[in-house]
Structure 1
């Protein structure tokens, strides 16, 4: 998704991730005074704003590892120590992964704000759509931040200088959500249902994210309205892909099930020094089988390993279990050359299972180092998620019949029997279905938190503390100590 762009961001430390986030060519020759003078400048700036979504690997890791779905894994407990601390609920304000997540998303916000700061410089056909896409991107980045950290500094339509940071406090999350909804409303009203450029945001993506934002806030009637409208009108032709077992293969990307997807390519190499600079999906290689030598799969780093608890949650006849979790020993035993297949167990933990949705396959590798260059897209919102969110919203507003209808569409796709329950049991069935359908995709932790189930499902979870992650201490220090830390940290 990354293209050459010329863009100077902000002087704010947390808005930067590494030097490679900027692609200034030639150096020091363009700034706001001689940029945004052509439609192409706006398009290049928008491409730069899309680019920070490459950090999706952090959401996919943390959303699973913080829950009952996965352990951190890896070479040792000191290999990405921050993930191991999140797994055991011992994380604090010094955590590399959480700091990266905050910085990368604020870098994305800074890039959208830079566009809005200059939005009146010229007029041209298509500018409204560029601004609407930028509105969506800003909403998405803020939604990630508010989901992880709660109250966060709210910066809109401008960049901050270093001197302004100590005077910029954390905004209440209700205020941040208000801005998110405002931006998504612009996107919904302006964007078309389809876009010839693959990966660009559409009206359906904006509606789906708005539904999720409303659901996360407990605004169930509003969520039911938006999601119901998306399902009923559906001018983009969204649907459920017929073969769940192959849904997460590169060959089946950008299909009717993809509502909001982050695009990746395997045609550009990269290094470990800046994972957000990659054009490939870093999660895929990191989730792979350590030192594996055998058919179908490539070797990887054994991160984000599914748990026995997740495996046991599936019925034996549910095809989503095999599509979601690779039982490595059972897979090897079923091969004709089983004695020739080898793999290694990392010191960071081993469950016997691997994330079979986002995993390196031999015929899907990118350029060297192919641990870092997977072309497998990250599906932020699938149509199945839209149906399940709608089912929950309808049930919570008393419409059990419509809730069952949307829930059973998801189950029918994998030939599982229809759910016939009502009331509180129906809600439980919907939430269970979310785990079965969406496990491995990075949203289990947030589902547990927002439904009040985290303490009973996550070992070590402390009520009143672990609903949010800590603000990185270095960012508090950069703000002159003015930002208060989240409770309990």
Structure 2
């Protein structure tokens, strides 16, 4: 067993064991009641149990099946101009189609799954932070580090919420019975201080690296990079020097470097490579089937199945369900880019192979997380057990964020070009020599190509003020669609404490 599979087996065995204790279904919008109180009573008695509870927070990152299939990164592709919704027909996944053409309603879209997932993770993080100091036998070093991890994860969930919904309830503790459905929404300006504080605390205590059998746990570099991403999304010019500083701390740590081959990033061997700052780990070894899949999903990455070609009968790739066909715009934009072949599958170029065209078929499909025939899971339903990790933060992204932060803060343009040209040089593109606003546009263009179909494009368009120009023909209206609707089911459950976002 190689180190990656060994690592995955450790996390999978823990999370599978926890399923019986933590439960996988909940109807409460804040998800405040642990199933049968077992988690609170039985899982904070010693350090080993505390670690299992910590893993349960990480486990929420994997969830992709809450109130429909709601895979975060894949759906962000759909909302952008990278891919369309796809599927067998327009009725296959209506919430995906609604996100694609911005016909979202309070009852239609991926919002309830995103909401439920994030608040479940926040609840588990809050509970952990309240309980861990009460475990007398836990080593101080264990308490300090794992509190940093819980704060990183809470910050990640809140950052997703604030980007997706804008005004959300701020809950930094577990709620008592009298508090159920009484927490009102607050604006992003009230959420960001907690996100920033949590990440600063995490940076101060997390290790710079982890051992091979702990791959999947967050590091100082991951917290620094996520905080840089938070400042970048806030789009406040006064924060750009902090973006640059945080990213340069990651760069100067010596812990990361670009892989020499862009293609190697998307292989099994490319998981947790020198370029990986943070990944969401999945496994092909959980043997999930539809009877055991549950609301959170199993330990496999079903998004991989979603994006494969329908009824494909050729070599290399396994069959899939035809979602996220690559847009004709991205295909045309990348036609002469050396990363094209590792970003886009041109079905017409696959000799002797056939597939069934689905809804919004373009003949082009996502390559980066495509289902590879040799990686089919040995047990369970193959569709539910893909082991492809999500590359949540890559070192290339850190270099590009550093370059952008330097240019926008009036820092060294020479250093910014150096970071940009490292990314370009990896794929044998010539260096750029631009300055000022032209350099900034070159950085934005490089993000478009380097990170294509990785789920960053929609938020990049929002923060750079380009969403209306690029997505307007899809139906995007900034005043409405910069945020998802608050799920109507949650407004109803709160008896009106929650209010709907404008435009819905």
State the TM-score, normalized to the length of structure 2.
Answer: 0.89
Q: CA deviation at 1:221?
A: 1.6
How many matched pairs?
470
CA contact (8 A) 1:135 1:187 kept: yes
Residue equivalent to 1:181 = 196
Deviations 1:277-318 (A, max 9, x none): 2101111111101000110000000111111100111252x2
Q: 2:216 aligns with which of 199, 203, 211?
A: 199
Aligned match for 2:369, one of 335, 358, 366: 358
2:496 to 473, 481, 489: 481
Q: CA deviation at 1:473?
A: 0.9
- Alignment of 1:247 onto 2:265: yes
How many angstroms apart in 2 are the aligned matches of 1:65 and 1:437? Answer: 18
2:425 aligned with 1:412: yes
In structure 2, the residue matched to 1:208 is 225
Q: Which has the higher helix share?
A: 2
Alpha-carbon distance in 2 for matches of 1:271, 1:447: 36
How far did 1:96 drift?
5.0
3-state SS in 2 of match to 1:326: strand
Residues in 1 aligned to 2:257 and 2:414: alpha-carbon distance in whole angstroms: 20
Q: Distance in 1 between matches of 2:319 and 2:429?
A: 33
SS in structure 2 opposite 1:434? helix
Q: CA deviation at 1:15?
A: 4.4
Distance 2:172 2:124 in 1: 11
Residue 275 of structure 1 deviates from its aligned partner by: 5.9
Counterparts in 2 of 1:300 and 1:383: CA distance versus 1, 3 Å: same
Would you say the 8 A contact 1:199–1:263 is kept in 2?
A: yes
Say yes or no: does 1:40 pair with 2:48. Answer: yes
Q: Once structures 1 and 2 are overlaid, which stretch shifts more, 257-266 or 237-246?
A: 237-246
Quote the offset at 1:271 in angstroms: 4.2
Deviation at 1:371, TM superposition (A): 1.6
Question: Which residue, out of 128, 131, 135, partners 2:144?
Answer: 128
1:210-229 alignment runs, 5 A limit = 210-218=227-235, 219-229=239-249
Find the counterpart in structure 2 of residue 303 from structure 1: 323
In the other structure, the counterpart of 2:382 is 370
2:128 — aligned with what?
115
- Specify whether residues 271 and 8 from structure 1 end up closer, same or farther in structure 2 by C-alpha distance, changes over 3 A only: closer
Q: Secondary structure at the match of 1:119?
A: helix
**Structure 1 residues 283 and 35: CA distance shift in structure 2, 3 A:** closer
Q: 1:271 to 1:473 in 2, by over 3 A?
A: farther
The CA RMSD over aligned residues, in Å, is 2.0
Displacement of 1:16 in angstroms is 5.1
Give the one of 46, 53, 60 matched to 1:52. 60
Return 5+ residue gaps in structure 2 as ranges.
Answer: 1-10, 65-69
Q: Within 1, Cα distance between the matches of 2:374 and 2:100? A: 32
Counterpart contact for 1:11–1:160, Cα < 8 Å = no
Residue 448 of structure 1, CA deviation: 0.3
Q: Give the whole-Å Cα distance in 2 for the aligned partners of 1:33 and 1:440.
A: 43
Matched with 1:291 is 311
Q: CA–CA distance in 2 between the matches of 1:40 and 1:474?
A: 37
- Residue 349 (structure 1) shift: 1.6
> Whole-Å Cα distance in 2 between the matches of residues 74 and 39 of structure 1?
46
- SS of residue matched to 1:486: coil
Q: What is the SS of the residue equivalent to 2:132?
A: coil
Matches within 5 A, 1:73-472: 73-95=86-108, 97-123=110-136, 124-125=138-139, 126-159=142-175, 161=177, 163-196=178-211, 197-218=214-235, 219-234=239-254, 237-271=255-289, 274=294, 276-316=296-336, 318-330=337-349, 332=350, 335=351, 338=352, 341-346=353-358, 348-366=359-377, 367-399=379-411, 400-458=413-471, 459=473, 460-472=475-487
TM-score in terms of structure 1 length: 0.92
2:376–2:382 Cα contact (<8 Å) kept: yes
What are the Cα deviations for residues 162-185 of structure 1, in whole angstroms up to 9, with x where unaligned?
x52332001221111110111111
Residues 9 and 111 (structure 1), Cα distance of their counterparts in 2 relative to 1, 3 Å cut = farther
The 1:31/1:368 distance shift into structure 2, 3 A limit, reads closer
Alpha-carbon distance in structure 1 between the residues aligned to 2:153 and 2:400? 23
- The structural deviation recorded for 1:238 is 0.4
Instruction: Provide the rounded CA distance (Å) in 2 between the counterparts of 1:401 and 1:358.
Output: 34
In structure 2, C-alpha distance between the alignment counterparts of 1:8 and 1:303, rounded to whole Å: 29
Asked whether the equivalents of residues 24 and 294 of structure 2 are also in contact (C-alpha less than 8 Å), the reply is: no
